[in-house]
């Protein structure tokens, strides 16, 4: 592939603004998802989410200019990204959450940036620096302090859920670490579309089986509107923006923004539930923002630096 296939690199605050938006969009998923789960089974909701997003991405790709996949081997890589970032991410999270608790799920979610960095380092995409390590530690401490591990559950059932959630973190962290090169070569829209196509192929048989005896007529109209929102906002918009940013900043930078999700939930709580922010929330916020700032300030992946110095570096 020659250098003309490399997308223009974005610098400045745009990728970071996109990542903040991603966390805001993902943050609405549990609330709206809870509404949809009142009438839909979990597997059915996941199926609607993945298949619906696939159709949306195909429609967007049809009316826009996008690149074609040029190597047969790249389809196998896209299938792997789909397995890690969509199929396992969706099914492991919702099944782990059912067996465990929201607190446990949030705590274990703090391991995603760690797995992302570990995989990136093992594959030679990034190197561990004291700045990144300290930033990850600060942000993780902020989330752990905010959620309060003393309230975590460790029963036999929740322990199984905790293990499933940990595997979810490993899968999503690996997806963030290994998908950057493909996104830079083909662009976010092409990669995300194919990831969801493969995700639909894997999800449809499972979802079809679980929905075969389901009564769709009993589902209220409000639930279908919730499903449509889940497809378009915390799936299509969030996954695309996340991939777009991943093509422009290091995987560890993309991952650390995940720490904003619990903070966003706690910030929204006063407006929706009438809860008050306390000193614990403010201290946790300070730690999380300090960690994010430490990792993101002047943080660029080695691959992007090579492109800036040698545009032909993408001609592989």
Specify the pLDDT at position 223: 92
pLDDT at 259: 77
Give SS3 for 141: helix
- Tokens of residue 216, six digits: 């769709």
- Nearest of 35, 26, 42 to residue 223 by alpha carbon: 35
Instruction: Give the residue, 196 or 299, on which the prediction is more confident.
Output: 196
Q: How far apart are CA 165 and CA 61, in angstroms?
A: 33
154, exposed or middle or buried, with CB in 10 Å at 0-12, 13-18, 19+?
exposed
CA distance 160 to 166: 10
The residue-averaged pLDDT of 209-219 equals 88
- Look at residue 239 and tell me whether its pLDDT is greater than 90: yes
Let me know how long the chain is.
Answer: 316
Residue 234 has pLDDT above 60, yes or no: yes
| pLDDT score, position 80 | 97
- Average pLDDT in the chain: 80
- Residues 18-44: tens digit of each pLDDT: 999 998 888 777 778 878 888 998 899
The pLDDT-based confidence of 270 (bands split at 50, 70, 90) is: low
Dihedral angle, C-alpha 206, 113, 101, 19, nearest 10 °:
-80
> Does residue 182 surpass a pLDDT of 60?
yes
Of 91, 98, 95, whose CA–CA distance to 207 is shortest?
Answer: 91
Which whole number is the average pLDDT over 200-207? 94
| Residue 194 contacts residue 74 (beta carbons within 8 Å) | no
pLDDT at residue number 312: 35
SS3 276: coil
Winning range, highest mean pLDDT, from 72-76, 143-147, 290-294: 72-76
Q: Tell me which of 247 and 128 has the higher pLDDT.
A: 247
State the pLDDT at residue 161.
81
What's the CA gap between 13 and 144, in Å, rounded? Answer: 28
SS3 191: helix
Query: In the numeric block, which tokens belong to residue 191?
Result: 């990669």
Query: Mean pLDDT throughout 155-162?
Result: 74
SS3 198: helix
| Cα–Cα distance, 208 to 55 (Å, whole number) | 17
- In this prediction the pTM is 0.78
Q: What tokens appear for 37 in the block?
A: 């789960």
């Amino acid at each position: 592939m020659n250098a003309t296939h490399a997308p223009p690199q974005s610098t400045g605050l745009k990728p970071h603004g996109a990542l903040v938006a991603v966390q805001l969009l993902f943050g609405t998923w549990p609330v709206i998802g809870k509404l949809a789960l009142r009438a839909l089974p979990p597997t059915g909701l996941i199926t609607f989410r993945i298949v619906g997003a696939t159709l949306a991405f195909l429609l967007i790709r049809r009316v826009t200019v996008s690149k074609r996949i040029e190597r047969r081997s790249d389809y196998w890589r896209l299938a792997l990204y789909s397995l890690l970032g969509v199929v396992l991410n969706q099914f492991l999270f919702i099944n782990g959450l059912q067996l465990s608790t929201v607190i446990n799920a949030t705590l274990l979610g703090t391991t995603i940036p760690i797995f992302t960095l570990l995989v990136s380092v093992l594959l030679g995409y990034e190197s561990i620096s004291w700045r990144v390590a300290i930033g990850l530690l600060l942000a993780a401490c902020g989330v752990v302090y905010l959620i309060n591990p003393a309230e975590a559950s460790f029963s036999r059932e929740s322990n199984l859920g905790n293990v499933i959630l940990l595997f979810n973190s490993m899968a999503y962290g690996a997806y963030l670490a290994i998908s950057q090169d493909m996104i830079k070569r083909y662009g976010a829209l092409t990669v995300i579309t194919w990831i969801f196509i493969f995700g639909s192929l894997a999800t449809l048989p499972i979802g079809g089986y679980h929905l075969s005896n389901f009564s769709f007529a009993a589902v209220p109209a409000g639930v279908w509107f919730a499903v449509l929102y889940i497809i378009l906002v915390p799936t299509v918009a969030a996954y695309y923006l996340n991939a777009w940013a991943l093509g422009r900043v290091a995987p560890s930078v993309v991952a650390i923004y995940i720490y904003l999700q619990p903070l966003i939930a706690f910030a929204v709580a006063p407006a929706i539930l009438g809860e008050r922010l306390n000193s614990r929330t403010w201290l946790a916020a300070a730690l999380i923002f300090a960690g994010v700032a430490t990792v993101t300030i002047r943080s660029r992946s080695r691959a992007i630096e090579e492109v800036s110095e040698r545009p032909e570096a993408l001609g592989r």
